Amino acid sequence: MIIKFLRQQVVFLITGVFLVSLLFACQGEPIVESLAPIATPVAQETFATTQFLAVAYPDRELSASPAQLPKLPYADNALEKAIDAETMKLHHDGHHAAYVNKLNEALEKHPELKNRSVEAMLRGLNSVPEDIRETVRNNGGGHLNHTIFWQLMSPNGGGQPTGEIAQQINQTFGSFDAFKKQFNEAGENRFGSGWVWLVRNAQNQLQIVTTPNQDNPIKDGLYPIMGNDVWEHAYYLRYRNRRAEYLNNWWNVVNWPEINRRVQTVSPQT
């Protein structure tokens, strides 16, 4: 009797263990909430502060509804320390106006794009219909680049930078002279037509880059703080093939207050 009783208890115990195991197996793996913080890549953190900022103006992006040629903030002959009046007139009234007209002509084929800013189209070129993509890239880029360019110069410009831009240039490049040398060399070495830029990159650092043709740095997730046009139409009437001389003289008209505003827009503290 005792042996029979013990056998029943063992069977009961084994059955219970099997049922409990089966129950847990049916429920699947338990969900464990991690208490460790999730690391965010630096690029994501900084793109969040730069990717959607206005680039053309302090308070707004560049409208394409329709695109319009902005007025120069000074007279054609106001920047004679670096750029002659005839070049300014041809550059603004001829070349920039042509970019605006060609962009508007392209957008007539796809009027739904007119609700997007020029910056938005350039940041998302792959979403622009293929039949006008290169036209938008070239002429939208030309419109945006020149809209920025006119603001970066002033009849009262030149001299040494001051304020935050001066501090950040010194921290990044060692001195203003070292920065100017690197900037000029990059512009001089840009093969063919294009631009030389000072940008804030994905790591929230200042960086000198060049772009071909009318590409703007926002295409690569960079924020343009200052830039110089090294297309021949920007300097050829006065300087002929002496691009280095043009680059050197351009510092006499640089609008440091405007550049300070732009650098503060994407300052690491913001």
pLDDT for 112-140, tens place per residue? 999 999 999 999 999 999 999 999 999 99
Cα–Cα separations (whole angstroms), residue 213 to 129, 141, 217: 21, 9, 12
Q: Are 255 and 159 in contact (CB under 8 A)?
A: no
Condensed to tens digits (0 to 9), the pLDDT of residues 137-170 reads 999 999 999 999 999 999 999 999 999 999 999 9
**Cβ-contact 50, 205 below 8 angstroms:** no
Q: Can you say whether the dihedral through the CA atoms of 255, 258, 262, 264 is positive or negative?
A: positive
Q: For the chain, what is the mean pLDDT?
A: 85
Maximum alpha-carbon separation in the chain: 119
| 35: three-class secondary structure by DSSP | coil
pLDDT recorded at residue 51: 58
Residue 94 has a pLDDT of: 98
Residue 250 has pLDDT above 90, yes or no: yes
Place of tokens 């827009």: 265
Identify the sign of the CA torsion 218, 220, 224, 226.
Answer: negative
Packing angle of the helix pair 97-107, 141-151 (nearest 10 deg): 140
**What average pLDDT does the segment 18-44 reach?**
34
Helices in the chain by DSSP H: which ranges? 2-27, 42-50, 85-89, 97-107, 118-123, 130-135, 141-151, 163-173, 176-189, 236-239, 243-250, 256-265
Q: For each of the domains in the chain, give its residue range(s) and CATH number, in order of start.
A: 85-264 (3.55.40.20)
In whole angstroms, what separates CA 248 from the centre of its chain? 25
Segment 67-78 shows an average pLDDT of 98
